[in-house]
């Protein structure tokens, strides 16, 4: 595997019961890049994202075919523990979902239960919050409930919580769709900064967002990967007509 | 035209008034029935209540003295039922909502639990007699009675626990699992703490109900009379509901002990309402702290 490639999908099919959600997907994700997954609702982009950290395992009656290689290993091989995968591939969800705990305990929760960074939890918490550009806003209220924070702050807390596990990859499922424009701008700025240390794969409904923050963009339609190119190319001269129609708003 | 519409509107308002009056009356009747019941018991029972009544055992063939052994027995049986029913019930609910694959078998188990909830309490009593008292040779004892009462309240506890577990947002589970935290840790650290107030509220209401049951304990735990306090879980105890039953139907002097009967009823109602009060306090505390 090319050392720039962190995840490689080979002929992946995915089914919810009898209905197929993804059809024969083969693609690679590059290290320390931001990859955007776009497409109309129901096109399978969120499904694909949740395949990468085995979150779809939680749904009864799903089935995966093909292989998804991460660090040369198929994460769907029978000897792979999904818990192990999720330690290395973190996730941020559409709606901010902090635990009803203090800000500090939200961050320390994952590392503590995994025995990571227990030697100096305070430093880890501070570091994670700084990475998520939230430290200055919350450093005096670390022992207050995370539920008191604004939506945008909660989402940055969720990013900090994921970062505290020091993952290799950060999956983001429409992380700004529930947020106001200012909070959205803050998170986009933050993603730009995280790229140095992390690989980011982000699902978004917002074309401008994909164009602004991603290096590469994949366009999906009804479970098929239609086009996968550098973001600049996708948004200026896409190879496929369907991509152009979607981006310019002719359907979707 | 305008006139006819007015008449029809009047008719509709009239129907509305009649309906409101009916539902209001229903609510009022219930409140009155409860109030009347409590007042009646209080009025007739308060005369018997004294420090001696609740701290001394019965004397003179249970026509005088207090009911302390029965109060203590009911407390033991209730705590025993909690010790049996709560862990078992919560564990079952966790299995049903968190682990089991939702399908035919889970549905079957749930139907079974609902059937169990509909079984008359005297049947539980006979089951306890046959299984715990005779087959397992526990005898008529705190242990047999606690196990029987524990099984009696199991459906209530499972039901309350299932509802409370389902009420914990799925997003909490997803967030925890996405951090590489195992399923059991997620349940133990996130799901259970958030479900616990709901579990306890529902369960305690069920337990309050069980504390007042007569049939399940009369074959399995309750003594007609014993002045000595239980030394182990294998001893028989007196219990408030059974004591009332005995005084009112098989006492040595039923008419003369009316005040004692009412006094005992009042104590039993106070114990049950006290247990319910704990549930209400937990629930209001939970509502104040709930933020999702």
Residue A120 lies in a domain: no
Six token digits for residue B114: 């609902």
Q: Average the pLDDT over B147-176 and give the result.
A: 93
For residue B257 the two structure tokens come to 């002990």
pLDDT at B291 over 80: no
Q: Which of A60, A86, A112, A165 should one mutate to test binding to chain B, selecting the residue with the greatest count of B CBs within 10 A?
A: A86
B83 and B150 fall within a common domain? yes
Q: What is the pLDDT of residue B68?
A: 80
Q: Which domain holds residue B237?
A: 51-289
Contact B291 A60 (CB under 8 A): no
- Taking only residues 156 to 195 of chain A, the set having a beta carbon closer than 8 angstroms to any beta carbon of chain B reads 158, 161-162, 165
Helix (H, G, I), strand (E, B) or coil at A192: helix
Report the DSSP pairing between strands A199-203 and A169-173.
Answer: parallel
The pLDDT mean for chain A works out to 90
Residue A87, in any domain of the structure: yes
The domain that holds B60 is classified in CATH as 1.10.3720.10
In a domain, A22, yes or no: yes
Burial of A101 (0-12, 13-18, 19+ CB in 10 A): middle
Return the number of other C-beta atoms located less than 10 Å from residue A120's C-beta: 10
Predicted pLDDT of residue A58: 86
Predicted confidence (pLDDT) per residue in A79-104, tens digit: 999 999 999 999 999 999 999 999 99
Q: Are residues B38 and B137 in the same domain?
A: no
- pLDDT at residue A203, rounded to an integer: 95
B28 and B158 in a common domain = no
Same-domain pairing of B102 and B192:
yes
pLDDT band with cut points at 50, 70 and 90 for residue B243: confident
pLDDT tens digits for A132-148? 889 999 989 999 999 99
Give the sheet arrangement for strand A224-230, strand by strand: A89-92, A169-173, A199-203, A34-38, A216-221, A224-230
Q: What are phi and psi of A145, to 5 degrees?
A: -65, 140
Cα–chain center distance at A226? 20
* Partners of A13 in the β-ladder: A65
In this predicted structure, the answer to whether residue B164 has a pLDDT above a threshold of 90 is yes
Chain A contact set for B169 (CB, 8 A):
97
**CA distance to A180, B167, B188, B207, B290, per residue, from B194 (Å):** 29, 9, 10, 21, 9
Number of structural domains found in chain A: 1
Q: What part of B 164-203 touches A (C-beta under 8 Å)?
A: 169, 171-182, 185, 189-190, 194
ipTM higher than threshold 0.85: yes
Which chain B residues contact residue A114 at CB under 8 A?
A: 179-181
Please tell me which residue of chain A has the smallest CA distance to B101: A60
First to last CA, chain A: 35
> Would you say residue A150 lies in a domain?
no
Query: What does B94-119 look like in DSSP terms, one character per residue?
Result: HIIIIIS-SSHHHHHHHHHHHHHHHS
In a domain, A214, yes or no: yes
Determine which of A55, A88, A97, A117 to mutate to test the interface with B (most B C-beta atoms within 10 Å).
Answer: A97
In a domain, A114, yes or no: no
Confidence of residue B230 (pLDDT cuts 50, 70, 90): confident
Question: What is the pLDDT confidence band of residue B175, given thresholds at 50, 70 and 90?
Answer: very high
- pLDDT, position B140: 79
In tens, the pLDDT along A233-249 reads 999 988 998 898 888 88
Torsion (CA) A187, A188, A189, A194 in degrees, nearest 10: 80
In a domain, A98, yes or no: no
The pLDDT tens digits for A6-55 are: 999 999 999 998 899 999 999 999 999 999 999 998 889 999 999 999 99
**Helix pair angle (B142-167, B192-211), 10° resolution:** 140
pLDDT at B96: 92
A93 touches chain B (CB under 8 A): yes
The pLDDT of residue A252? 52
| Residue spans of beta strands (DSSP E) within chain A | 5-16, 19-30, 34-38, 62-70, 73-74, 89-92, 169-173, 199-203, 216-221, 224-230
Give the count of beta carbons closer than 10 Å to the beta carbon of residue A181: 9
Q: Which of B101, B175, B194 sits opposite A97 (nearest CB)?
A: B175
Is A231 inside a domain boundary?
Answer: yes
Same domain for B25 and B128?
no
Number of domains in chain B: 2
- pLDDT, one tens digit per residue, over B85-139 is 999 999 999 999 998 887 888 899 989 998 988 899 999 999 989 898 889 888 8
* Interface contact A55-B177, CB threshold 8 A: yes
Q: Do residue B57 and residue B28 come from a single domain?
A: no
CB contact under 8 A, A55 and B180: no
A109 interaction partners in chain B (CB closer than 8 Å): 176, 179, 181, 189
Write out the residue range of the structural domain in which residue A172 sits: 5-93+168-247
Classified as helix, coil or strand, A64 is strand
SS3 A7: strand
Residue A193: which CATH number? 3.40.50.300
Higher local confidence (pLDDT), A2 or A169: A169
Summarize pLDDT for B41-95 with one digit per residue, the tens. Answer: 999 888 878 887 777 777 766 666 778 888 888 888 998 999 999 999 999 999 9
Residue B150 sits in the same domain as residue B224: yes
On whether both B57 and B100 belong to a single domain, the answer is yes
In chain B, beta strands by DSSP E = 58-59, 64-65
């Amino acid at each position: 595997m090319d050392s720039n490639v962190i995840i490689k999908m080979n002929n992946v099919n995915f089914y919810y019961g009898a209905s197929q959600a993804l059809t024969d997907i083969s693609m690679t994700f590059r290290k320390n890049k931001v990859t955007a997954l776009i497409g109309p609702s129901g096109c399978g982009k969120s499904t694909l994202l949740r395949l990468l950290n085995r979150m779809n395992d939680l749904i009864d009656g799903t089935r995966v075919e093909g292989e998804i290689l991460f660090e040369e290993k198929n994460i769907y091989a029978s000897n792979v523990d999904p818990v192990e995968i999720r330690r290395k591939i973190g996730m941020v969800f559409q709606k901010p979902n902090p635990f009803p705990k203090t800000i500090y305990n939200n961050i320390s929760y994952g590392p503590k239960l995994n025995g990571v960074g227990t030697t100096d939890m305070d430093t880890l918490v501070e570091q994670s919050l700084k990475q998520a550009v939230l430290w200055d806003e919350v450093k005096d209220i670390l022992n207050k409930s995370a539920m008191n924070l604004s939506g945008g702050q909660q989402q940055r807390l969720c990013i900090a919580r994921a970062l505290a596990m020091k993952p290799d990859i950060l999956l983001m499922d429409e992380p700004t769709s529930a947020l106001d424009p200012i909070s959205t701008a803050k998170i986009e700025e933050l993603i730009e900064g995280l790229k140095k240390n992390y690989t980011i794969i982000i699902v978004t409904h917002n074309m401008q967002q994909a164009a602004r923050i991603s290096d590469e963009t994949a366009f999906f339609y009804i479970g098929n990967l239609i086009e996968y190119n550098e973001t600049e190319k996708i948004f200026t001269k896409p190879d496929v007509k369907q991509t152009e129609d979607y981006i310019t708003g002719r359907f979707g | 035209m305008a006139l006819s519409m007015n008449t029809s509107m009047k008719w509709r308002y009239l129907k509305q008034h009649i309906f409101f009056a009916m539902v209001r009356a229903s609510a009022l009747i219930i409140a009155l029935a409860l109030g009347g019941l409590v007042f009646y018991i209080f009025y007739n029972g308060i005369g018997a209540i004294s420090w001696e009544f609740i701290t001394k055992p019965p004397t003179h063939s249970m026509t005088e003295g207090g009911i302390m052994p029965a109060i203590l027995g009911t407390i033991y049986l209730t705590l025993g039922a909690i010790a049996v029913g709560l862990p078992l019930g919560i564990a079952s609910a966790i299995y049903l909502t968190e682990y089991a694959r939702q399908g035919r078998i889970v549905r079957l188990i749930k139907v079974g639990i609902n059937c169990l909830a509909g079984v008359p309490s005297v049947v539980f009593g006979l089951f306890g007699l046959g299984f715990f008292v005779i087959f397992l040779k526990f005898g008529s004892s705190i242990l047999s009675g606690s196990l029987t009462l524990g099984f009696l309240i199991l459906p209530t506890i499972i039901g309350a626990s299932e509802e409370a577990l389902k009420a914990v947002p799925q997003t909490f589970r997803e967030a925890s699992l996405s951090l590489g935290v195992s399923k059991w840790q997620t349940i133990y650290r996130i799901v259970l703490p958030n479900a616990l107030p709901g579990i306890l509220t529902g369960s305690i209401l069920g337990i309050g109900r069980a504390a007042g049951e007569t049939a399940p304990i009369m074959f399995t735990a309750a003594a007609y009379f014993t002045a000595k306090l239980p030394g182990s879980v294998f001893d028989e105890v007196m219990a408030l509901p059974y004591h009332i039953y005995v005084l009112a139907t098989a006492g040595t002097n039923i008419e003369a002990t009316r005040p004692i009967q009412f006094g005992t009823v009042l104590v039993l109602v106070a114990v049950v309402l006290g247990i319910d009060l704990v549930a209400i306090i937990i629930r209001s505390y939970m509502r104040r702290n709930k933020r999702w």
